[in-house]
Amino acid sequence: MRINFWPGLLLALLAGALFPLAFAPYSQGWLAPLLLAVLFGLWHSAPSPRFAFGQGYLFGLGQFGFGVWWVYISMHQYSGAGVLEASALTVLLVAFLALYPALAGWVAVQLCEHRAWVWQKILGWPSIWVALEWLRGWLFTGFPWLEVGYSQIDTPLAGFGPVFGEYGVGWLAAFTAAVLQTVWQRRQAGRWMAIAVLLWFSGWGLKSLSWVQPAGEPIRAALLQGNIPQDLKWQSETQAWILATYLEMTRRHWDKDLIIWPETAVPAFYHQVYDDWLSPLAQEAKAHESDVLVGVPVVEASGRYYNALINLKNGEVYYKRHLVPFGEFLPLRMLLGFIVEVLEIPLSDFSAGKSDQALLNAAGFSLAVTICYEDAFARDALVGLPQAAYLVNVSNDAWFGDTAASYQHLQMARMRALEGGRYLLRATNTGLTAVIGPNGQVIAQAAPFVRTSLTASIVPLAGATPYVIWRDWPLLLGIMAVLSQMLIQRVDYTSLRARINASWKSK
């Protein structure tokens, strides 16, 4: 089945535009394999790798244009950029991200001729898709938003999360898409369809397995959501009001083992507010035997400053390691320095914390901390496992207003809890504050854009999921094996031998 030129391009754009519906807050995970099947079908009919590149690019424009447009809110409403500047920067970001599915299309068709064996597309195209997602999660510090695996957090494929991680779940979703595309093309795919069905039932069965065990008595926790408007947060006249708000909220929960403030809840450097505000609170925390984790920027004598989370009770500090490009630091400053003049972001030149920081201790157990953007990366969020008994994430998604961004972010945090087999306590400024179970399901969640406290009891856990042990290596090795075999199949050995013989004869 072939699709004409312009209808094919429009279908690619439409499929990409619908793709974000598979993710939170819409959470129609079943759409992801279907829409990828449409894209794979277009690649199957593509007359050339260059044409498949264009189809992939249009899919990417739809995917990211409708999926991450909310960066415009951050740049225009809260970073000082005008409508034209914010729009232009948003378009540039979307145009760049669209190159990943475009490159996937080019490679997929380049390695697979129309007469290729069925297995090459059923195994190869999912491998190419996930390999490009993995690259997107690393290149230029990474941007893993809208990776297909996250869309499957509420489907049976999520059962594979503790085994092969989000990329493994994404590969299985893309494999399902490749099988559906093959069936659509009316090719012999009966055994492949049976394998896909078996995998989905296996994922459902894996959900019932427990990879970890309790490590102690439950922890009583309170997560504070101050709901401080972003446009008021860094004004000097609101500083005392913000601190008084959090102190009042904290003192309501001295019966809890653990109290957590959001990311940079303190709108000043630690040393500036320590004597008058934080030191007295630390004494109260010790008296009530409650650990209080406070999000606050910290500056060193050298002038470097960090996005930090501090336990007031014992003085332990975590410095954020994975910074947000253009929000907390400027990559490629020599080339992109002009962006500093467009965006006016408070404290936008943080330094990254060391990669080998010790785990924090609170409520009698070690915990693994991530700040904001870090929980989008398994390599950052799970670095403290299996030693840590639970996970903590503090964030501030007020930068993106009432958009899908905070819901997408929470969905990624859910995958981290599932991969690690740990409870995750997530305290945010405006939402979505939540308690997530080791199965990736939300146990409790505060309403967004209200000042509130979310309380819950969690069980500290010990042990390791298979994914914590081997991370992405089995998947990456499998992808390399598939792509290597595709390359070998693509080589014309007869022509190659002829050219080698001709070369020797000429000598």
Residue 372 a catalytic site member: yes
Residue indicated by tokens 């779940």? 169
Q: Check: CB of residue 427 under 8 Å from CB of residue 394.
A: yes
From the candidates 121, 233, 256, 320, which is the catalytic residue?
320
Q: How far is CA 225 from CA 90, 262, 284, 294, 478, in A?
A: 29, 7, 21, 12, 43
CA distance 209 to 186: 37
Q: Which residues touch 244 (CB under 8 Å, ≥6 apart)?
A: none
Lookup result for tokens 């599915």: 101
Contact 239, 268 (CB under 8 A): yes
341 is catalytic: no
Strand 305-311 relative to strand 291-299, pairing: antiparallel
> Rounded to 5 degrees, what angle do the CA atoms 16, 56, 33 make?
50
Catalytic residue chosen out of the listed positions 121, 256, 328, 372? 372
The set of residues, in sequence order, having a beta carbon less than 8 Å from that of 23 and lying 6+ positions away, is 67, 146, 150, 151, 404, 408, 411
3-state secondary structure at position 448 = coil
**Phi, psi dihedral angles at 26 (to 5 degrees):** -80, -40
487: Cβ contacts below 8 Å, ≥ 6 apart? 111
Active site residue 207: no
**How far from 189 is each of 124, 230, 376, CA to CA, in Å?**
15, 53, 35
Residue 363: CB partners within 8 Å, gap ≥ 6? 219, 221, 257, 258, 291, 460
H or E segment and range at residue 371:
strand 365-371
What are the b/e assignments for 215-242, b being 16+ CB within 10 Å?
eeeebbbbbbbbbbebeebbeeebbeeb
Distance CA 496, CA 363 (A): 66
CA distance 103 to 51: 11
Residue pair 400/431 in contact by the 8 Å Cβ criterion: no
Tell me which of 263, 316, 374, 419 is the catalytic residue.
Answer: 263
How far apart, in whole angstroms, are the C-alpha atoms of residue 214 and residue 177?
38
Distance CA 66, CA 408 (A): 13
Q: Residue 412: CB partners within 8 Å, gap ≥ 6?
A: 144, 150, 375, 376
Active site residues: 263, 320, 372
